[in-house]
Amino acid sequence: MARYKTKGLDCWNKAKELRDRYYKDYKESHDRGGLRWEGGAWSFDAIPQALEGEVHGLSEEPYGASIGHIPELQVRYQEAAEGKWGCARDLCSYMRAYWGSVALNEYAFGGAWPHADFIFQNQICCCHSKWLQVADEIGGGTTPYFCFDVGAGPYDKIGDRQIDYVVGQLYDGIEFIEKVTNRKVIDEKLIQNVYNTYRSNCYWAKTCELNQAIPAPLDEKTMFSLYVLGTLEKSNQAIADFYEKELYPEVKDRVADKIAAVADEQCRVLGDSQPPWGFLRIYRYLEQYGIVSMANLYTFSLIGWMMVDKKGDIVPCPTLEEQGITIKDRDHALRLLAEGELKGKLMWAPFYGATYKNDLVTKIAKQWRCDAAIIHLNRGCEGTAQHQMQLKIALQGMGIPVMTFEGNMADEREFDEGRVMRLIELFVTETLGLKKVA
């Protein structure tokens, strides 16, 4: 007899539909006289999406991750990047998949590679700027490239100087995309996009906060498919509505009715970094022992805007509406956009030191009431793998059992499933002393 009720999410199909439409729209945009641009999950999509007329973006990380889900494509694309282009095999696995896709002139969602009209890229880790720099070079080197830097400091050091730095670049960016597209950035659109960006980020954060409940209403495996929309186009009305009006209320009800993601929840696990996408079955295995992986700095704040309140707790950032802020003009919009991202994206903090990662993740472990941690030493992404070994030490210091396994978010050639399963089995049965539930 299971401990709790469980059921799938009602809004699941809606999420899937929005995602499918996104990739389709990008491909077809030109046929409809629309524009196409490439960027990243952290590009300020609110800006290019404010250009007049129809505009569609392609977000690099989620595209790479989608390929990671399809081993056949993944290996072929990455080998093309390594062989045809000659890049190293240990580079970001999303990036290699993306480059291979360009090199083979293949779009993972069908047809030839849809070239973009311009690139609107962000630099945060030490190579992000290179992603589309190289992709474009492979593709012929004709796409206008713009990259802005958001490496201006950790969330608790953000003041006017940091915001000025980013906003200054955003003005250049607007001038740049207007020049290369011959279209204007419409302020009404921009302002609406900023409201939406806040709604997407804040409501995802609120949804994550709900996972503090026991039983956890969501497991990571499900969350992965939900945050993705925000990595595609957080400034999009439909997507912001999805987070505010569909997902958040539904998860709230799940908490009220004690509907669990894993019916036999008896052990709450903290994760770190992206999972090996081709091997999500690991989570299914854990579920047999009543283990639910339900908290992860990455999963929360890849798009969720959170802050550390006076008590030192991690809480969701409020939307502009909640703060009673009305955007006055373009400048106001850009400043709010930069401020929200620089102060709210806590997962950037580890880039500035191990103490940040330890501080934030141990807070999460406490507030989300985690019993154990399973850290994926992710060879595929230096960014999210920052300070993972320090984190292990810190968590063990609080008495939380930790296991680590090496893998790669999107390169199955670097994931030895047999070995990893042996490790997990040992951890679950010996260190955690858990037995299979019915």
Partner 1 sequence: MIEEFKQWYDDRHSYAKEWKKNNSKGKVVGYFCTYVPEEILYAADCLPVRILGGHEPPALATPHMFDMWCPFSRDCLSQGLAGKYDYLDGVIIAQSCLHIRQAFGAWQLQVPTPWSYYLCMPNAVTTLHAKKFLAGELAEFKKAVEEWVGKTITDADLDRGIDIMNTNRRLMKLVYQSRKEDNPLITGTEAMTMVWASQIMDKREHNVLVEQLLRDLPNRRLDRDQGVRLMIVGSEHDDRPFMEMVETIGATFVIDDHCTGSRYFWDEIVTLKDRLQAIANRYCDRVPCPTKDFKQGTWERKRFPHIINLAKEYRAHGAVLIQQKFCDPHECDIPSLRRQLEDNGIPCYFLEFEVTVPVGQFRIRIEAFIEQLRADELFD
Partner 2 sequence: MIVAGIDVGGKNAHVVILKDGNIVAQGAAATGIQKAEAAERLYKETLHKAGLKQDNVGRVVATGSAGKRVAFADGVIADAAADARGVNRLFPSARTVIDVGAEEGRAIKVSPEGKVLDFAINEKCAAGTGTFVEAMARALEITVEEMATLSLKSNNSIPMNAQCAVFGESEVVSLIHQNVEKQDIAKAVHDAIAGRIASVARIVGLEKDVVVIGGMARNAGFIHSLKKEIGMDIIVPDDPDFIGALGAAEAAAAGVLERKVEAKS
Partner 3 sequence: MAEQGKQEYWRWPEGTWVNPGIDWRKGRIITAGVDVGSVSSQAAVLVDGELYSFSNTRTGSDSPDSARKALSIAMEKTGLTVDHIDYCIGTGYGRVNVPMAQRTLTEIACHARGANFMYGPEVRTVMDMGGQDCKAINCDDKGKVLNFMMNDKCAAGTGRGMEVFADLIRVPVWEIGPRSFQIKKEPPMISSTCVVFAKSEVVGLLEKGVPENAIMAAYCSAMAHRIMELLNRLGVHEKFVITGGIAKNEGVVKRLEKELGIKTAEKVWHKPAYKAYPFDTQITGALGAALFAEAMVGKGKVKSVRKT
Q: Which of 17, 172, 187, 425 binds partner 1 (CB under 8 A)?
A: 172
The SS3 of residue 185 is strand
Stretch that binds partner 1, among 27-35, 257-265, 330-338, 355-363 (CB under 8 A): 355-363
CB atoms within 10 A of CB 57: 25
Taking CB under 8 A as the rule, does residue 90 contact partner 1?
yes
DSSP code for 184: P
Q: Is 182 in the site for partner 1 (CB under 8 A)?
A: no
Binding mask 252-291 for partner 1 (x = CB under 8 A): ----------------------------------------
The least distance separating partner 1 from the CB of residue 53, rounded to whole angstroms, comes to 23
Chosen from partner 1, partner 2, partner 3, none, partner binding at 144 (C-beta under 5 to 8 Å by type): partner 1
Distance between CA atoms of residues 219 and 222, nearest Å: 6
Kindly state the smallest distance separating residue 47's Cβ from partner 2, in Å: 42
431 contacts partner 2 (rule: CB under 8 A): yes
Cβ pair 43, 24 in contact under 8 A: no
Question: Strand, helix or coil at 411?
Answer: coil
Phi, psi of 405 (to 5 degrees): -145, 140
Q: Is residue 28 part of the contact set for partner 3 (CB under 8 A)? A: no
Structural contact between residues 383 and 91, judged by C-beta atoms closer than 8 angstroms: no
Asked if 406 interacts with partner 2 (CB under 8 A), we say yes
> Is 16 one of the binding residues for partner 2 (CB under 8 A)?
no
Binding-site residue total for partner 2 (CB under 8 A)? Answer: 20
158 Cβ contact partners less than 8 Å away, ≥ 6 residues apart: 152, 339, 342, 343
Pair type for strands 306-308 and 145-149 = unpaired
The number of C-alpha atoms within 13 Å of 103 and in the hemisphere containing its C-beta is: 19
Tell me the residue type at 37: W
Interface of this chain with partner 3, residues 368 to 427, rule: CB under 8 A: 413, 416, 418
d(CA 69, CA 381): 16
Q: Is residue 102 a contact point for partner 1 (CB under 8 A)? A: no
- Work out how close the CB of 89 gets to partner 3 at its nearest, in angstroms, rounded to a whole number: 6
71 or 153: whose CB is closer to partner 3?
A: 71
Q: Binding segment for partner 1 among 11-19, 35-43, 195-203, 352-360 (CB under 8 A)?
A: 352-360
Q: Is 404 in the site for partner 2 (CB under 8 A)?
A: yes
| # residues near partner 3 by CB under 8 A | 9
> Residue 112 interacts with partner 2 (CB under 8 A)?
no
> Interface residues for partner 3 in 60-79 (CB under 8 A)?
79
Alpha-carbon gap, residue 336 to 167, rounded angstroms: 9
Range in contact with partner 2 (rule: CB under 8 A) among 51-59, 96-104, 152-160, 416-424: 416-424
Q: What angle do CA 408, 412, 416 make, to 5 degrees?
A: 80
* Contacts for 285 with CB less than 8 Å, ≥ 6 apart: 421, 424
Q: Would you tell me the crossing angle of helices 220-233 and 60-68 to the nearest 10 degrees?
A: 140
Q: Which is nearer to partner 1, 273 or 319 (CB)?
A: 273
84 binds partner 3 (CB under 8 A): yes
Q: How far is CA 257 from the centre of its chain?
A: 28
**Two tokens at 434?**
């858990």
Binding residues vs partner 2 (CB under 8 A): 389, 396, 401-404, 406, 414, 416, 419, 422-423, 425-427, 429-431, 433, 435
- Which parts of this chain interact with partner 3 (CB under 8 A)? 79, 82-84, 86, 89, 413, 416, 418
